């Protein structure tokens, strides 16, 4: 009889980062329960986390897992099984010859917030240090880059100042552009418990949909999609007009007040209400609560970030915290929630094309020199690489010739799918490193690399509150599957043979701890300094950064001395003029299409889609519409509709939902091409993101996944 073991690890879904205890017998995961000692969840798990064993065990997923490397010499051939030596030699040869012929920027890496920090660090080193390119970007670009840009320009550092304890002691919680009841469920349960204990706590939700989070709120402002900046400027205007500001604090700790005050003069309650489609008295109530509450906290996520003005939305919200001095104290602060389990780890290791490891700056020669010296090489590339959407455009037009995709599914998740698919077709070599063999992106692979999955690999992740937790292996990966860091290391070493000038670049490691130790050293003296931590300390207790040498635990809250990370210690009040979304509502495209999450599915469903129980909440794909809009178009629940715009056309089953604003259509983000009815030519059915706008925020380069205009008509079938 097999012994049942229990292994402490971390959930692989959302950015709450709940601790789990994995039960395993033999080489099968048999159960999961919440870790009662983990400070992110204290034993709680949501429906996704509590069913991890149903989606991650090799027994259930065996037929979908990649067990061996696979390759083909030509696109029209079928992929054949191969061994690691063969694919390693082939990849090294193709990458080296392409770099020699077309330069380092002809190689692109598209990585993922699902990777562990150690994986992220090594891919970053491989791209920038060995190949010599900044063409490495993460799918975190789709969820967090506006939050990064907003924190950096306003507070001087990409560092969320808050922690989960702030939910327990806030007096006002403003949830804007987020639905934590579905997207961060364990955190939302904590908020519910705090409200129960402290009935004086107020919760306000700003969202075009009356979500489950909005349903429970004291006040819900159902704004017109995309008007968040106007709303936040309107709140600033009211605070200034009413004297609900902390002038002494502003003078001591910020710059830019006069310019900001002048910039919001025109955002009167009446004007703002007309732009945002809300009541002036609700704006007034929110401004008053926000200022007068002893502690005001804001929680935000993709509704602010996934926008062509995502950075402005982030900074406008931070402005509100700064003029009311609602920051740096328990229960206060602008708290950006991360979507993926290790979006934060990617930011720490600099695994986006515009960042450098340890929160350093690519544009800063001293920062580049410091990293190059630590890595034993002469220089690092100084030009920022392509960001996610731009990277696929660079592939499509031939500037990037080899694309190495790691642990993500861009053939489902990126906007404007027809262009993404065209890029994958156009690439000279597509390498896909994946646990599962059947994602939409795998179909375009010339080389498939079998990766270990959750429950099979070791390392660390960092959650929304800057807390680093250990991820541990409970079982071994199937067949020849390997941890992502191992794959980067092996293929990197094979490439290195051809670049003698890079011989001192360390790419061989005993294991993830050695990689993490190197990453840790590169944080020394930086705002995220973790030189006081070790794997041994993290085994005992997950810790927040920063935790410099000499400290025994991390810092729970930032800016408690009101010194910000800009050189003068002051935060910046940023002018954020409102600009409408890039897609326009017209008589031909009168509906705004927005995407979001349903409760029990995760991203593209490569894991949760294998769990039948996950479909019991929402069994089928659907498109939501307000009942008044349905009535005006003679539609009933269950009717098929045809939606289209310049990017494509699709069919969806429509259902009415009075929780939407009229004029808004809402589509869960999870459905891939296998769930979508498109035209028979196969060009238009690429899943939810076919029609979605690729418009980008000019600073963060994050795409506008929440605002796409479409036409809609009823589809009659013979």
Shortest approach of ligand SF4 to residue 165 CB, angstroms?
17
Interaction between residue 414 and ligand SF4 (CB under 6 A)? no
Return the SS3 of 677.
strand
Q: For 682, left (φ over 0), alpha (ψ -120 to 50), or beta?
A: left
Return the SS3 of 694.
coil
Q: Of residues 22, 45, 82, 669, which one binds ligand SF4 by CB under 6 A?
A: 45
Contact predicate 709/645, CB 8 Å:
yes
* CB closer to ligand SF4 out of 30 and 517: 30
Return the SS3 of 250.
helix
The window from 117-125, 180-188, 252-260, 637-645 that contacts ligand SF4 (CB under 6 A) reads 180-188
Q: Of residues 186, 205, 574, 635, which one binds ligand SF4 by CB under 6 A?
A: 186
* CB closer to ligand SF4 out of 380 and 407: 407
Shortest approach of ligand SF4 to residue 188 CB, angstroms?
8
The window from 181-189, 405-413, 451-459, 689-697 that contacts ligand SF4 (CB under 6 A) reads 181-189
Shortest approach of ligand SF4 to residue 112 CB, angstroms?
16
Interaction between residue 14 and ligand SF4 (CB under 6 A)? yes
- Among 145, 135, 107, CA closest to 385: 135
Interaction between residue 604 and ligand SF4 (CB under 6 A)? no
Residue facing ligand SF4 at closest CB distance: 49
Task: Phi first, then psi: give them for residue 109, nearest 5 degrees.
Answer: -120, 125
Task: Give the H or E element holding residue 49.
Answer: none
The 459-462 sheet, strands edge to edge? 459-462, 467-471, 543-544
Shortest approach of ligand SF4 to residue 465 CB, angstroms?
12
Shortest approach of ligand SF4 to residue 116 CB, angstroms?
15
Q: Which residues contact 92 (CB under 8 A, 6 or more apart)?
A: 491, 494, 495, 497, 498
The window from 42-50, 122-130, 139-147, 491-499 that contacts ligand SF4 (CB under 6 A) reads 42-50
β-strand partners of 334: 298
Shortest approach of ligand SF4 to residue 25 CB, angstroms?
22
β-strand partners of 711: 644
The window from 142-150, 182-190, 311-319, 669-677 that contacts ligand SF4 (CB under 6 A) reads 182-190
Interaction between residue 660 and ligand SF4 (CB under 6 A)? no
Interaction between residue 17 and ligand SF4 (CB under 6 A)? yes
- Among 562, 522, 563, 566, CA closest to 545: 522
* CB closer to ligand SF4 out of 19 and 156: 19
Shortest approach of ligand SF4 to residue 51 CB, angstroms?
10
The window from 13-21, 422-430, 537-545, 637-645 that contacts ligand SF4 (CB under 6 A) reads 13-21
The window from 10-18, 97-105, 219-227, 633-641 that contacts ligand SF4 (CB under 6 A) reads 10-18
* CB closer to ligand SF4 out of 45 and 278: 45
Burial 433-453 (b: 16+ CB within 10 A, else e): bbbbbebbbbebbbbbbbbbb
* CB closer to ligand SF4 out of 289 and 454: 454
Q: Of residues 21, 35, 38, 49, which one binds ligand SF4 by CB under 6 A?
A: 49
Return the SS3 of 329.
coil
- Cα separation, 206 vs 176, whole angstroms: 5
- Among 713, 607, 616, 591, CA closest to 670: 607
Q: Of residues 21, 24, 46, 312, which one binds ligand SF4 by CB under 6 A?
A: 46
Shortest approach of ligand SF4 to residue 19 CB, angstroms?
9
Size of site (CB under 6 A) for ligand SF4: 14
- Cα separation, 249 vs 566, whole angstroms: 17
Contact predicate 16/28, CB 8 Å:
no
Q: Of residues 8, 9, 13, 208, which one binds ligand SF4 by CB under 6 A?
A: 13
* CB closer to ligand SF4 out of 162 and 487: 162
Contacts to ligand SF4 from residues 140-179, by CB under 6 A: none
Interaction between residue 180 and ligand SF4 (CB under 6 A)? no
Interaction between residue 454 and ligand SF4 (CB under 6 A)? no
* CB closer to ligand SF4 out of 48 and 519: 48
Beta carbons within 10 angstroms of residue 643's beta carbon:
24
* CB closer to ligand SF4 out of 21 and 391: 21
Report cis status (omega within 30 of 0) of the bond before 276: no
Interaction between residue 16 and ligand SF4 (CB under 6 A)? yes
- Cα separation, 274 vs 253, whole angstroms: 33
Beta strand 447-450 with 429-434 is parallel
Residue by residue, DSSP assigns 261-307 as HHHTTT--HHHHHHHHTS-HHHHHHHHHHHHHSSSEEEEE-HHHHSS
- Interhelix angle 145-155/310-323, rounded to 10 degrees, is 40
Q: Of residues 185, 339, 492, 703, which one binds ligand SF4 by CB under 6 A?
A: 185
Interaction between residue 48 and ligand SF4 (CB under 6 A)? yes
* CB closer to ligand SF4 out of 16 and 515: 16
Shortest approach of ligand SF4 to residue 46 CB, angstroms?
3
- Among 527, 670, 611, 480, CA closest to 29: 611
Shortest approach of ligand SF4 to residue 185 CB, angstroms?
5
- Cα separation, 498 vs 277, whole angstroms: 61
Q: Which residues contact 674 (CB under 8 A, 6 or more apart)?
A: none
- Cα separation, 179 vs 10, whole angstroms: 22
Interaction between residue 337 and ligand SF4 (CB under 6 A)? no
Q: Of residues 8, 9, 11, 226, which one binds ligand SF4 by CB under 6 A?
A: 11
Shortest approach of ligand SF4 to residue 171 CB, angstroms?
24
Interaction between residue 473 and ligand SF4 (CB under 6 A)? no
- Among 441, 375, 394, CA closest to 66: 441
Contact predicate 151/300, CB 8 Å:
no
Residues in contact with ligand SF4 by CB under 6 A are 11, 13-14, 16-18, 41, 45-46, 48-49, 184-186
């Amino acid at each position: 009889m097999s012994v049942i073991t229990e292994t402490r690890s971390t959930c692989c879904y959302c950015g709450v980062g709940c601790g789990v205890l994995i039960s395993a017998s033999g080489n099968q995961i048999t159960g999961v329960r919440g870790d009662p000692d983990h400070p992110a969840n204290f034993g709680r798990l949501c429906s996704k986390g509590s069913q991890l064993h149903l989606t991650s065990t090799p027994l259930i997923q065996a037929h979908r897992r990649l067990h061996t490397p696979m390759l083909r010499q030509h696109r029209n051939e079928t992929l054949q099984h191969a061994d690691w030596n063969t694919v390693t030699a082939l990849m090294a040869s193709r990458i080296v010859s392409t770099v020699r012929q077309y330069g380092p920027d002809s190689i692109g890496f598209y990585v993922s917030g699902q990777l562990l920090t150690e994986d992220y660090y090594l891919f970053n080193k491989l791209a920038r240090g060995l190949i010599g390119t900044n063409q490495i970007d993460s799918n975190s670009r789709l969820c967090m880059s506006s939050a990064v840009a907003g924190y950096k320009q306003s507070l001087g550092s990409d560092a969320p100042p808050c922690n989960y304890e702030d939910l327990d002691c806030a007096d006002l919680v403003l949830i804007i552009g987020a639905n934590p009841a579905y997207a961060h469920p364990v955190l939302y349960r904590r908020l519910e418990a705090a409200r129960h204990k402290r009935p004086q706590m107020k919760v306000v939700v700003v969202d075009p949909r009356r979500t489950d989070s909005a349903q429970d709120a004291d006040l819900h402002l159902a704004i017109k999609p995309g008007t968040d900046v106007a709303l936040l400027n309107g709140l600033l205007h009211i605070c200034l007009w009413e004297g609900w500001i902390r002038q002494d604090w502003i003078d001591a700790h910020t710059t830019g007040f006069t310019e900001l005050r002048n910039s919001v003069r025109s955002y009167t309650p009446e004007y703002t209400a007309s732009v945002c489609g809300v009541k002036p008295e609700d704006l007034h109530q929110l401004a008053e609560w926000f200022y007068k509450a002893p502690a005001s906290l804001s929680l935000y996520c993709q509704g602010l970030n996934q926008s062509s003005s995502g950075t402005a939305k982030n900074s406008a919200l931070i402005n509100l915290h700064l003029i009311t001095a609602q920051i740096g104290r328990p229960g206060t602060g602008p708290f950006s929630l991360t979507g993926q389990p290790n979006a934060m780890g990617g930011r720490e290791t600099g695994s986006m094309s515009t960042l450098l490891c340890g929160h350093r700056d690519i544009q800063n020669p001293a920062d580049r020199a410091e990293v190059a010296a630590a890595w034993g090489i002469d220089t690092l590339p100084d030009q920022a690489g392509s960001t996610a959407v731009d990277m696929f455009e660079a592939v499509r037009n031939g500037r990037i010739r080899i694309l190495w995709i790691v642990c993500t599914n861009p053939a489902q998740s990126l906007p404007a799918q027809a262009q993404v698919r065209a890029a994958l077709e156009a690439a000279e070599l597509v390498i896909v490193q994946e646990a599962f063999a059947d994602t939409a992106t795998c179909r375009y692979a010339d080389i498939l690399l079998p990766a270990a999955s959750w429950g099979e690999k070791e390392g660390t992740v960092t959650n929304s509150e800057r807390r680093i937790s250990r991820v541990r292996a409970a079982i071994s990966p199937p067949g020849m599957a390997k941890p992502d860091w191992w794959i980067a290391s092996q293929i990197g070493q094979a490439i290195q043979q051809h670049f003698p000038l890079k011989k001192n670049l360390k790419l061989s490691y005993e294991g993830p701890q050695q990689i993490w130790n190197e990453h840790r050293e590169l944080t020394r003296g930086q705002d995220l300094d973790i030189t006081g931590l070790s794997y041994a300390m993290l085994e005992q207790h997950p810790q927040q950064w920063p935790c410099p040498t000499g400290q025994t635990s991390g810092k729970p809250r930032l800016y408690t001395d009101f010194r910000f990370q800009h050189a003068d210690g002051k935060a910046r009040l940023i002018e954020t003029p409102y600009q409408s979304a890039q897609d326009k509502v017209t008589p031909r495209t009168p509906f705004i299409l927005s995407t979001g999450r349903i409760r029990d599915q995760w991203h593209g469903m490569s894991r949760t889609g294998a769990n039948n129980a996950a479909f019991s909440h929402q069994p089928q794909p659907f498109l939501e519409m307000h009942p008044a809009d349905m009535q005006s178009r003679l539609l009933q629940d269950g009717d098929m509709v045809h939606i289209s715009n310049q990017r494509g056309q699709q069919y969806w089953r429509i259902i009415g939902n009075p929780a939407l604003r009229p004029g808004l259509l809402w589509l869960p983000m999870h459905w891939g091409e296998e769930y979508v009815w498109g035209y028979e030519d196969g060009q238009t059915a690429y899943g939810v993101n076919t029609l979605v706008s690729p418009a980008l925020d000019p600073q963060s380069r994050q795409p506008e996944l929440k605002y796409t205009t479409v036409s809609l008509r009823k589809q009659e079938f013979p």
